[in-house]
Amino acid sequence: MRNAKEAPRCGAQGTSDSAYYLPRLFEESLGAKFNLVQGYPGGPEIDLAVERGEIHCRAFTIEAFLSREPYHTWRKKGFVRNIIQTGKKRYSKLPETPTIWELMDKYKTPESSRRLASVMLASGALGRPMIGTPGIPPDRVKILRDAFDATMKDADFLADLDKRQFDLDPVPGVELEKIVKDALQQTPETIARMKKLLGG
């Protein structure tokens, strides 16, 4: 996509969803080219547009991709190809798909663009976190984190996930705290670039 004569068309709802800002981030950080087609009402309509050949790509979560239709069928038929993951490490069920961090190393992305990627991808790295109110005593935070970690290893809980065909990649509370702190410590230049990327 860096050298494409014609940029692939990617579907998005508007400028605030990941289907829009991830391709824009890939342009900024990797030199890729995309033609963003906006105005789809939602993900199902973007999926139909992909199946019809109106667009070539879309960006969304690995969890959704691995847990429901039409993606099960897409994978079985070899209809889809994953090109980039946004996590720090490759997801175990997509071992052949490189991460943006690997590609930024490969293409020698400057530090300013890496900082932009870090703040733009923070919300995805957080997933759907469980959050407490400010001022919880540290010993209680530890109890809550230990309970969460134990649940993520509980055999009955994991069996229920398998039955529902849900995919899970939990992130410990200590790591989530670091992601938030890193995202909040940004330079004015990074914030300005983020606003521009999001159309602000």
The domains of the chain, with CATH numbers, are 9-126+176-197 (3.40.190)
Q: What is the pLDDT of residue 78?
A: 94
The half-sphere exposure of 90 on its side-chain side, counting CA atoms within 13 A, is: 12
pLDDT lower than 70: segments of the chain: 200
DSSP secondary structure code for residue 36 in this structure: E
The model's pLDDT over 75-114, given as tens digits with 9 standing for 90+, comes to 999 999 999 999 889 988 899 999 999 999 999 999 999 9
Q: Name every residue whose Cβ is closer than 8 Å to that of residue 115 and which is 6 or more positions away in sequence.
A: 186, 187, 190
The sign one gets for the Cα dihedral 51, 52, 57, 60 is: negative
Neighbouring C-beta atoms of residue 120, cutoff 10 Å? 24
Beta-bridged to residue 57, according to DSSP, are 10
Q: What is the pLDDT of residue 3?
A: 86
Q: What angle do CA 23, 188, 14 make, to 5 degrees?
A: 30
Q: Name every residue whose Cβ is closer than 8 Å to that of residue 98 and which is 6 or more positions away in sequence.
A: 84, 85, 90
Record the pTM: 0.79
Note the Cα 81 to chain centre separation in Å.
Answer: 16
Q: What is the pLDDT of residue 16?
A: 80
Q: What is the pLDDT of residue 73?
A: 95
Q: What is the pLDDT of residue 185?
A: 86
